[in-house]
Amino acid sequence: MRRLALSLAAGGGLLLGIGCAPPPASAPLGGLRPVEARALELYVEQRVARARLAWRTRNPSVLVAGPDSAVATRRPDGTPVTNAEIRADLGRRMAAVVRLDTLNEVITALRMEGDSAEVTTRQRFVRLVRAEGAERVRVSGVTHRQWFRRQGREWIVLGPPRESEQEAYWADERPRG
C-alpha cells in the first residue's frame, strides 16, 4: 500500500464546485477545519495533475508505480490484478487517445469518522479516441471515494480510491434521460 503524507500547513477553504465561495475560516467542512480540508483538496489536485501528465505523455507508469508482480487490486472473483496488467491495459487505452480534452475532478463530499476522513470526488474525462478507423469523442465519469487518516499534522492515504457510479458514452450517442 502506498503511503502519502499531506501537510496541513496550507491555508484556504474547500471549494465544493464551480462558483462556490470558501466557507468562513471557523466553519467546519464535514467535521474538518478549513486547513485540513485544504490539505485533502491539494491531494486531489495532485492526483488529477498526475493523471493528466500520464495521459498526455501516454505513460501508464506515472499512474501505476511499483514492481510488475505487485498485486494492485483484485477482480470481483478474488483473482489478483498485477501492476503489469494494469499498465498494459492503460497503455492500450492511452495509445487510442488522439487528444485529451478534459480531465477534472471535484470534491463532492467530505466525511469524518474519528481520526479518518472519507473524500468523495466526481471525475469527468473527455478525449478524442481513434476506434475502428474513426475518431470519436469519448466521455466518461466516475465517483471516487478514498480514506485518509490524520497522523499529527498530516493525512496518510489508506488505500487507492474506490470507484462507483461509472458512466461512459460516445459524445455523438449521449444517453438520454
pLDDT of 84-126, one tens digit each? 999 999 999 999 999 999 999 999 999 888 889 999 999 999 9
Given a cut of 50, is residue 50 above it in pLDDT? yes
Q: For residue 163, what are the contacts with CB-CB under 8 A and spacing of at least 6?
A: 142, 143, 144
Instruction: Report the C-alpha gap between 104 and 49 in whole angstroms.
Output: 9
In CATH, the number for domain 5-173 is 3.10.450.50
Please work out, in degrees rounded to the nearest 5, the angle formed at the alpha carbon of residue 29 by the alpha carbons of 165 and 21.
Answer: 90
Whole-Å CA distances, 34 to 12, 37, 38, 89, 162: 6, 5, 6, 38, 24
Instruction: Report the C-alpha gap between 140 and 54 in whole angstroms.
Output: 17
Given a cut of 70, is residue 4 above it in pLDDT? no
Whole-Å CA distances, 134 to 14, 67, 100, 101: 41, 36, 16, 17
Given a cut of 60, is residue 12 above it in pLDDT? no
**C-alpha cell, 158:** 489508506
Amino acid identity, position 164: S
